Amino acid sequence: MDRRIFLGGAGAIVGGTLGGIGLSEAAEVLGGQKPITQKEWEALYRSYGTAQFTCVRTSQAVEGPYYFDNSPLRSAVAEGRKGERLRLGITIGGMLSPIAARCFPLAGAVVDIWQTDAAGIYSNVGGDLQTVDTTGQAFLRGHQITDEKGYVEFETIVPGWEVIALPPPAIVGARTNHIHVKVYHGRDVLTAQLYFPDPLLDQLFAEVEPYKSHTRMTAPGLPRFYERVRNDKDGLFLADKSTPMPVERVNGVLTAKATIGMISQGNRGQATLFRGG
């Protein structure tokens, strides 16, 4: 569309709609979003003074084909799937700018995760994309709302590695073990992927079932089986210059901690873009 025609038409519509009414009525016509006031801006800016920790802005990662925005509100997501138990703690830090070194806790953010089971299978994926049809299931998916410290915690399992058929000429996408995360705060959205240290994964695949049996994998449309992929062979891990999460055993349970830094100007009452139930 010609930009001049579009702008002219938009101006005519606005003029025709808002002409002759008060500012408060105009705000309602525009969807209830009133302009920010000096007092609100000052309060927002001063809130950045509550920065409590150092973080680095998390790079946007690809979402992948298996996300859907209707995950259950819950902390325990495994639904009995076999695998090494994992306690995953995620802190969401708000940043004023990409070069800010300090983060303030981002409360009220939706943190949505999804991952494979130990055999590299996702829930709610049809049999045309993976060897097991899991349509309508929701295992290893869930979301939570960050507390005043910007923190949420999930009870899950260590995911498996995976393969997916890709259109030619790529043919196959082989991925190392990872957990997908999508963070919603008002109109701000960040997609990330969390990775694990190779030594930990090597130990699991050498000694612990069902990982020990998950050494080869295929998917519908692929010509053969493929071998397990480590971090240093994962193209997305390398392209994003990712760093694995620190993981340690606490009272016998693997515990991982991740900090995600995202640019946020505050939500000012904006409804989150997350549409989950």
Read off the tokens for 191.
């997609």
Confidence grade of residue 1 (pLDDT, cut at 50, 70, 90) = very low
CA torsion sign for 124, 191, 257, 235 is positive
pLDDT confidence of residue 25:
52
> DSSP letters of 204-256?
HHHHSTTGGG-SEE--TT-SS-EE---GGG-HHHHHTT--PPPEEEETTEEEE
Q: Which of 271 and 197 is assigned the larger pLDDT?
A: 197
CB 18 within 8 A of CB 26: yes
Per residue in 214-236, pLDDT tens?
Answer: 999 999 999 999 999 999 999 99
CB 119 within 8 A of CB 178: no
Rg of the Cα trace of the chain? 22
Strands 85-95 and 226-227 come out as unpaired
Predicted TM-score of the model (pTM) = 0.83
pLDDT confidence of residue 51:
64
pLDDT confidence of residue 40:
74
Read off the tokens for 108.
């009220």
Cα 135 vs. chain centroid, distance in angstroms? 21
Which residue in 155, 159, 190 sits closest to 55, CA to CA? Answer: 190
Lowest-confidence pick of 90-99, 178-187, 243-252? 90-99
Per residue in 129-149, pLDDT tens?
Answer: 999 999 999 999 999 999 999
Read off the tokens for 204.
């699991």
Mean residue pLDDT of the chain comes to 84
Burial class (CB in 10 A: 0-12, 13-18, 19+), 107: middle
pLDDT confidence of residue 222:
93
Report which residue type is found at 131: T
Cα 240 vs. chain centroid, distance in angstroms? 15
Per residue in 240-249, pLDDT tens?
Answer: 899 999 999 9
pLDDT confidence of residue 187:
82
Within 10 angstroms of residue 204's Cβ, the number of other Cβ atoms is 22
CA–CA separation, 180 and 178 (whole Å): 7
Within 10 angstroms of residue 48's Cβ, the number of other Cβ atoms is 18
Confidence grade of residue 35 (pLDDT, cut at 50, 70, 90) = confident
pLDDT confidence of residue 101:
66
